[in-house]
A = this chain, B = another copy of it.
Amino acid sequence: MLIAAGLGSFSTGLFCYNRTTSAPEANDRLTPIYATREDLEKAVNEIRHLLGDDGISTDDEDLQAHGYSEWSSINIDRLPTAVAYPSCTEDVAKIAKICHKYKVPMIPYSGGSSVEGHFSASFGGVSVDFMNMNNIVEFHPEDMDIVVQPSVSWMDMNDKIKDTGLFFPVDPGPPARIGGMIATNCSGTNAVRYGTMKDWVINLTVVLADGRVIKTRKRPRKSSAGYNLNGLFTGSEGTLGFVTEATLKLAHIPEETGVGVATFPTMRDAAKAAIQVIHQGIPVGAVEILDDVQMDVINRMGGTGREWKVLPTLFFKFSGTHVGVMDDINGVCRIVQAHGGSDFEFEHDKTKQIALWSARKEALWSMMCLRTSGNEVWSTDVAVPLSKVPDLVEISKKDLQELGLFGSMLGHIGDGNFHETILFNGDREREMVTKCVHDMVHRALDMEGTCTGEHGVGLGKKQFLEEEVGKDSLHVMRTIKTALDPHWLMNPGKILDP
């Protein structure tokens, strides 16, 4: 792959405004033009002066690691010019001031596990890697909240606080870190019970495009004071500001948990059973659907220490009091049987629960491991209203088969959120996968759904946003972006274009 790197990426240093007539209240539309090569060099030198030699890198390997992702559905032929490593909010603010002065794009980077090209350097510029900002700043068990920096891993954090009986319930992929989790409004298997990232943010410290630092709120668990900036910055993918600190709500570790697994003759049966569980109001901790291909892949990778039936499978988490969990399991068991499910297995013992859940946990990783030389992976998600899930799952499965693509299906089905992971090799197959994914997105939108339930828009889903929210909603988003970041310096090219 040919990638333009280093200080070679530049443009003319002019700003160009075009009047548009596309909306009744049209603003002057901006075509941002970024720093000249000379100004870019000045900016990098100033950041080096600020952070020292260890605080900024222009090594090819670093640029590659911050501009390309093997997890991503999309990569581009451009890399950042430099990678900065701030240690505190003040550093980030100073970097932003420098970039603002020279009109240099800034791209935030934390866990690097996003899948829609979120940290691609669409216009070059400086990747801001928060790896040195990975501390728990304050922990208030008495208030059930925690203050963290953006590179804190949610898994490490939960490990550190577990003895207090509290935990953070949003559970995206293991490599995810708080900064990116906020940026994408991520969720995970627990969302059906606990909601998504935006529901757990108490306040954010944000560095704006011009280097000003704001804190969205103090520390109340609820508030009706002023615009909900938490809700606006969460999910904005670093395009409105960089989160440098976050106060997050915590939940109680349930008294008891359980894991259950059942297989079904068809994906439609499994999907219908899962939806019925939600319809009956059984408060499951999670309900996940995996297709036969995915189960086969897990078997082939052999990481779970057992042989699974190669059938559509539902995985359940249960949590609550002992009696509550037993109650919920009985309810789920009845529904599973009524939908042709069989072999309902349940584990109460903690260690055995982990073993039983391991197949679900290994799902994406197993697909990644299957890649051979030249193989690429495309992982995508959509979400639809609950009642549409069985149709979506069935049609998408058929589509994959008809195209002859090797892909597995998996869903946080209790939220109507559904994933496909497809392996491919070469341009012809990439074209087929593209069609398959685009068809699934259009199908989801036709069903009144969304082009992404939890992965975010990034570069990969940008083309669907107007179809999803409409031209005028997109114009509102663009108006907000331009108002807060007039030069489109923050993660430009993601979510929407000027």
Task: Name A's B-contacting residues (CB within 8 A).
Answer: 23-25, 27, 140, 142-145, 165, 184-187, 191, 195-196, 198-199, 208-232, 234-236, 240, 251-255, 278-281, 320-321, 323-324, 327, 383-388, 415-417, 444-445, 448-457, 461, 464-465, 468-470, 472-477, 479-484, 486, 495-496
Nearest chain B CB to A485's CB is how many angstroms away? 9
Chain B hits for A145, CB < 8 A: 385
List residues of chain B with CB within 8 A of the CB of A208.
25, 472, 476
Query: Smallest distance from the beta carbon of A183 to chain B beta carbons, Å?
Result: 10
Q: A140-B385, A140-B387, A235-B227 are in contact. Are A220 and B450 (CB under 8 A)?
A: yes
A191, B227: Cβ atoms closer than 8 Å: no
Q: Contacts A143-B385, A384-B220, A468-B217: A450 and B225 contacting too (C-beta < 8 A)? A: yes
Chain B residue nearest in CB terms to A466:
B226
Inter-chain pairs besides A198-B228, A221-B385, 9 sampled, C-beta below 8 Å: A142-B386, A145-B385, A187-B224, A218-B469, A220-B384, A220-B385, A220-B417, A226-B473, A482-B483
Give the top 8 A-B pairs by smallest Cβ distance, nearest first. A231-B231, A252-B281, A483-B483, A223-B450, A142-B387, A143-B385, A219-B448, A220-B383
Residue of A199, A225, A455 with most partner-chain B CB within 10 A: A225
Picked from B214, B386, B449, the residue with its CB within 8 Å of the CB of A473 is: B214
* Contact A476 B214, beta carbon cutoff 8 Å: yes
Query: Looking at the complex, which one of B165, B196, B324 makes contact with A321 (CB distance below 8 Å)?
Result: B324
Determine how close the nearest CB of chain B comes to the CB of A94; give it in whole angstroms.
13
Q: Do residues A211 and B385 form an inter-chain contact, with CB atoms below 8 A?
A: no
Chain B residue contacts of A456, Cβ below 8 A: 224-225
Chain B residues with CB below 8 A from A388, complex form: 143
Count this chain's copies in the assembly: 2
Contact A457 B384 (CB under 8 A): no
A229-B473, A323-B327 given; A144·B278 CB < 8 A: yes
**B25 x A142 contact (CB < 8 A):** no
Complex: how many Å from CA A156 to CA B191? 30
Decide if B469 touches A226 in the complex (CB within 8 Å).
yes
Residues of B within 8 A of A199 (CB): 195, 199
- Of B23, B27, B486, the residue contacting A212 (CB under 8 A) is B23
Whether B165 contacts A469 by the Cβ 8 Å rule is no
CB <8 Å contact, A476 and B327? no
Task: Return A47 CB to nearest CB of chain B, in Å.
Answer: 19
B223, B324, B416, B464: the one contacting A323 at CB < 8 Å is B324
Instruction: Give which listed residue, B184, B221, B483, contacts A480 with CB less than 8 A.
Output: B483
Residue A222 contacts which of B278, B321, B417 (CB distance < 8 angstroms)?
A: B417
- A457 and B226 within 8 A (CB): yes
Say how far A468's CB is from chain B's closest CB, in angstroms: 6
CB distance from A105 to the nearest CB of B (A): 17
A456 closest partner in B (C-beta): B224
| Residue on B nearest A185 in the bound complex, by CB | B224
Residues A221 and B469 in contact in the complex (CB < 8 Å), given A25-B212, A227-B232, A252-B281: no
Query: Once bound together, how far apart are the Cα atoms of A321 and B281, in whole Å?
Result: 11
**Closest CB in chain B relative to A366 CB, distance in Å:** 24
Let me know if B214 and A470 touch, CB within 8 A.
yes
CB distance from A416 to the nearest CB of B (A): 6
Please judge, given known A-B contacts A324-B320, A468-B225, whether A220 and B449 are in contact too, CB under 8 Å: yes
Please determine whether B227 and A495 come into contact, CB atoms closer than 8 angstroms.
yes
